[in-house]
Each structure stands twice: as structure tokens, then as C-alpha cells.
């Protein structure tokens, strides 16, 4: 059956595809402003039904202990997603505004393939570890450490990389034996809802194990943090919303995973290839219109070569024109919504008020009157105290900042409320590694290395979050540790 054949999605609750009690809401193509179709609009009552279904599936079935079933279901999901990959590609380009070239990587195919890591990890994981014999307080005791599922997980996800973030939560949470309620962003409901259709048609997931609730109302997702039937909340999004999630979760002392904002620095040391480094920084910030939390949006360069660095970055970024995401050549598509476009523009206006200048870009392309477009922009003339250097803009905007040596570059990189990612370029790998080791961030790219991988943990320091997603560390976020001590005979 074709995906979303009637251009309308449904909720997945307790193994059934159902309508939302509030009706439907539009999903819009950000490149054209065309209404693509509608998504089921859930109410608080729908969310309550989903939570109750997940609770029953965890408490009253053997899902959490049947590793073989979990592995089979996740592999079925991966295979079914692969079979529908071209339909999913078209949907992703249209709903997310993701350039076609990115769908072969982190926007679609990568996350589908990454489900294999979750299945393989569950299949081979040491669920019980013998801690050995001991005599605490003189009592002979045999001890075992058991890893068990947390329980019901509420997953709240954003719109920028919906498949990657949805599946990076769904895969390990279910593989570890939890049941789950997924609440995606209102901007990209179809990217999550199609999972419900595929799960019901192509997998053996028991009813209630995974529930998908789309809604135009953000407060519906907030119920996952507050409801005592939910044992853990896994949230990716803004730092401001992350604070609210943590506050709400504190009422029931539930476990929280948070992957939040970033304002990552790209450090160019004085022995680096300036042209290569600044060009790479500029290209990176244009990808998917800069809508990535780990994108390096601060380019920190030697003061003596500041003007040259600005010129190189502007030359590269100015040559990347925002365009039709269906084209194989497009790098920079639209931002997700009129609201987001206006937010980015407000930061560009602020840059001028703060005394900066645009080396390229600075607003909406003059020849694009439909769609949510922002020109790739280089801001020059400001230091790290400017708001555009400190706050997450989430658009194709690069701020160039001068440094006075390695120590100063590290100081600037770390002078941020965030600590998600970073990059260091140097002609000397050892020097670059030394600088990288001093950066207070969760991931660092040294001279072009790639940190994104299914088996590698991702997350940040400071206000960039709590915990890690992906890799073994990400799998274990969804487990509890139990020590079983038995009197030795």
C-alpha cells in the first residue's frame, strides 16, 4: 500500500491507526508554501490513551524480556523502511525541505541503516554480568549486575532531522526493552506518522509497544514529562524547552535525556590551510539551511588573517544559492517555516545593530517570493560578546571572530553556554589534538574527521544537554542497573 495514499496521516495508538480527536492540521512544503496534506491532530485525551497503551504493553506482556522478538521487530522495521525509501525520500524533501543530496545520508538512509546497530546491540548485549563472589560484612555473597529496561519512554522530537532523531530514539529504546510514545514536531508530522503505517503493515510489534501521536499543540507533548505513568523522557530540541522538560519531569523524578542547542566553534589555527578550512566552514553552515544543532556557526580565525578569512568564507557561502530541494545540486534549501525565517531575519537585523556587517547575504533572496528562504550569510566585524555569536540562530549564518593564538581560540570556543560540538584545523595533527582536548564539547572534528556514526555517542556539555544518543552509551541511556546479591551456599 502506498504511504499516505490519501495525503492524510493517522495516530498509532495501541496497535491501531486512528484519527485524532481534534481533527486534522496542515503539513506544508517550506519551499513552496503548498499544503501537502493533513495530519491527525491529537488531544490530551489521545495522548493519555497512548501512554496507557504503552504502560500496559510494558507491565502486562513479555516485551521487555523477549530479546528475540525485539530484535526481529526492529529488523523488520529497517527492512520495510528500505523498501519504501523512495517514497520516504520524496516525503522528506517535500515536508522537511531537506535537499535531495542529504537524504542519502543523515536525513533518511543513514538513520534507516542505523537501526541495525540497535538490533545487533540488543542481540549481543551482556544483559547480566557476574560481579563475582565476595564477603561483605563477613557474609558470603554471589553478585550479578542486571541491565533492564527503564519502562515507558516518552520521545519528543524536532523538525530539522526528523528521521534521524526519531529513529535514534525509537531504535535503542525499543531494543532495550522499553515501550514508547513518540511525539514529533508539528512542522514535520508525516515523517513520524509514516512509521505507524509501516509498523502496522510490515512488522510484528505487539499493540502498545510503540505509539505515535501527532498534534498541532505543543502542550500535548509536554504531558509526557508530567505523567507519572511515563518513566523516562527523551527530548531533542531547544535549550529553553529542555529546561521545561526537566522541570516537569522533576515532579515525578523521572529519568531525562536531553539533546539541546549549540553554538559550535570552528577553530582555524595559524598554521592551517586558511582557504580549505574557511571554505569548509562556510559550506557546512549552508547545508540544510544551517538547521542543525551541531553545525559550527562561529568561525574563529587568526586576527592577522581576519580580512582574508572573511573574504574566503564569503566567496564560498555567497556562491551557494538557496534553491529547490528536489534538485540533486541543491545544498541550501528553505528554512522550515515563516516563523523560523522571521526569527533568523531578526538575528540578521540585530547583527547590524550590534555593529557588524554582511560580507555576503543578509536577508531573503530578492527573486524568491514563495517559500521560506534566507540567503547564506557571513557576519563580520563582531567579537564573541555579540548576541549573534552567543545565541543559536538555526539558519545559514556564519559569524567570523578573530583570535590571538591557540589559548585565545580555546577561550573563545569555551566562552559559550553551549558545548555540543566543535572543529579544529591545523597543519599539525598533534597541535590540533591538543586544542581539541581543551574544548568543552561532546564531539570534535579534527582536520576533517567525521564523528557522526551509529556506533559513536553524540551529545554535549553544559546547556547542550544531558546524556548521550547513539552508540553503546545511547543504548544504555534506556536501561536501568540492578544488582542482585544472593547468599552463597
Helix 218-226 to helix 44-60 angle (10° resolution) is 40
Q: DSSP assignment of 378-403, as one string?
A: EEES--TTSHHHHS---SSEEEEEEE
Instruction: List Cβ neighbours of 131 (8 Å cut-off, separation of 6 or more).
Output: 143, 144, 145, 483
The question of whether 391 is a catalytic residue gets the answer: no
Q: Which residues pair with 141 in a beta bridge?
A: 134, 487
Q: Which residues pair with 266 in a beta bridge?
A: 299, 423
Q: Which residues pair with 309 in a beta bridge?
A: none
Q: How far apart are CA 398 and CA 381, in angstroms?
A: 12
Q: Which residue has the cell 568564507?
A: 313
> Using an 8 Å Cβ cutoff, are 45 and 103 in contact?
no
Q: Which of 259, 375, 469, 476 is catalytic?
A: 259
10 Å CB burial of residue 324 (0-12, 13-18, 19+) is: middle
Query: CA angle at residue 394 from 392 to 398, to 5 degrees?
Result: 80
Q: Cα 406 from chain centroid? A: 30
Taking the C-alpha atoms of 271, 274, 277 and 278 in order, what is their torsion angle to the nearest 10 degrees? 140
Taking the C-alpha atoms of 25, 29, 33 and 35 in order, what is their torsion angle to the nearest 10 degrees? -40
Give the chain's radius of gyration (CA, Å): 23
> Using an 8 Å Cβ cutoff, are 144 and 129 in contact?
yes
Q: How far apart are CA 296 and CA 422, in angstroms?
A: 6
Catalytically active residues are: 259
Amino acid at each position: 500500500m502506498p504511504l499516505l495514499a490519501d495525503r492524510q496521516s493517522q495516530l498509532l495508538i495501541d496497535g491501531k491507526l486512528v484519527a485524532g480527536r481534534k481533527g486534522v492540521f496542515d503539513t506544508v512544503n517550506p519551499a513552496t508554501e503548498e499544503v501537502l496534506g493533513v495530519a491527525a491532530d491529537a488531544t490530551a485525551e489521545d495522548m493519555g490513551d497512548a501512554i496507557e497503551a504503552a504502560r500496559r504493553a510494558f507491565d502486562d506482556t513479555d516485551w521487555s524480556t523477549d530479546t528475540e522478538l525485539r530484535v526481529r521487530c526492529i529488523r523488520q522495521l529497517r527492512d520495510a523502511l528500505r523498501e519504501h525509501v523512495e517514497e520516504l525520500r520524496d516525503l522528506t524533501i517535500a515536508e522537511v525541505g531537506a535537499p535531495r543530496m542529504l537524504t542519502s545520508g543523515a536525513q533518511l538512509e543513514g538513520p534507516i541503516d542505523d537501526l541495525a546497530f540497535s538490533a545487533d546491540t540488543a542481540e549481543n548485549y551482556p544483559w547480566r554480568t557476574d560481579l563475582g563472589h565476595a564477603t561483605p560484612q563477613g557474609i558470603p555473597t554471589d553478585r550479578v549486575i542486571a541491565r533492564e529496561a527503564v519502562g515507558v519512554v516518552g520521545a519528543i522530537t524536532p523538525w530539522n532531522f526528523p528521521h534521524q532523531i526519531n529513529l535514534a530514539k525509537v531504535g535503542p529504546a525499543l531494543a532495550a526493552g522499553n515501550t514508547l510514545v513518540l511525539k514529533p514536531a508539528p512542522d514535520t508530522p508525516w515523517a513520524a506518522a509514516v512509521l505507524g503505517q509501516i509498523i502496522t503493515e510490515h512488522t510484528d510489534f505487539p499493540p502498545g509497544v510503540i505509539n505515535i501521536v501527532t498534534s498541532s499543540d505543543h502542550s500535548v507533548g509536554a504531558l509526557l514529562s508530567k505523567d507519572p505513568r511515563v518513566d523516562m523522557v527523551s527530548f531533542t530540541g531547544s535549550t529553553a524547552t529542555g529546561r521545561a522538560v526537566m522541570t516537569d519531569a522533576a515532579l515525578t523524578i523521572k529519568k531525562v535525556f536531553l539533546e539541546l542547542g549549540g553554538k559550535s566553534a570552528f577553530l582555524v589555527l595559524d598554521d592551517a590551510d586558511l582557504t580549505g578550512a574557511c571554505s569548509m566552514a562556510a559550506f557546512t553552515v549552508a547545508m540544510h539551511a544551517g538547521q542543525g544543532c551541531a553545525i559550527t556557526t562561529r568561525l574563529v580565525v587568526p586576527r592577522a588573517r581576519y580580512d582574508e578569512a572573511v573574504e574566503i568564507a564569503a566567496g564560498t557561502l555567497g556562491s551557494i544559492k538557496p534553491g529547490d530541494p528536489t534538485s540533486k545540486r541543491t545544498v541550501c534549501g528553505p528554512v522550515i517555516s515563516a516563523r523560523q525565517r522571521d526569527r533568523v531575519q531578526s538575528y540578521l537585523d540585530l547583527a547590524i545593530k550590534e555593529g557588524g556587517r554582511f560580507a555576503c547575504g543578509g536577508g531573503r533572496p530578492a527573486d524568491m517570493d514563495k517559500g521560506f528562504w534566507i540567503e547564506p550569510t557571513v557576519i563580520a566585524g563582531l567579537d564573541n560578546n555579540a548576541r549573534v555569536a552567543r545565541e543559536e540562530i538555526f539558519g545559514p549564518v556564519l559569524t567570523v571572530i578573530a583570535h590571538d593564538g591557540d589559548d585565545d581560540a580555546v577561550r573563545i570556543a569555551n566562552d559559550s553556554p553551549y558545548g555540543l560540538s566543535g572543529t579544529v584545523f591545523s597543519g599539525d595533527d598533534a597541535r590540533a589534538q591538543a586544542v581539541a582536548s581543551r574544548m568543552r564539547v561532546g564531539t570534535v572534528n579534527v582536520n576533517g574527521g567525521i564523528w557522526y556514526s551509529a556506533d559513536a555517542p553524540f551529545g554535549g556539555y553544559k546547556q547542550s544537554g544531558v546524556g548521550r544518543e547513539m552508540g553503546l552509551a545511547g543504548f544504555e541511556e534506556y536501561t536501568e542497573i540492578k544488582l542482585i546479591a544472593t547468599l552463597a551456599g
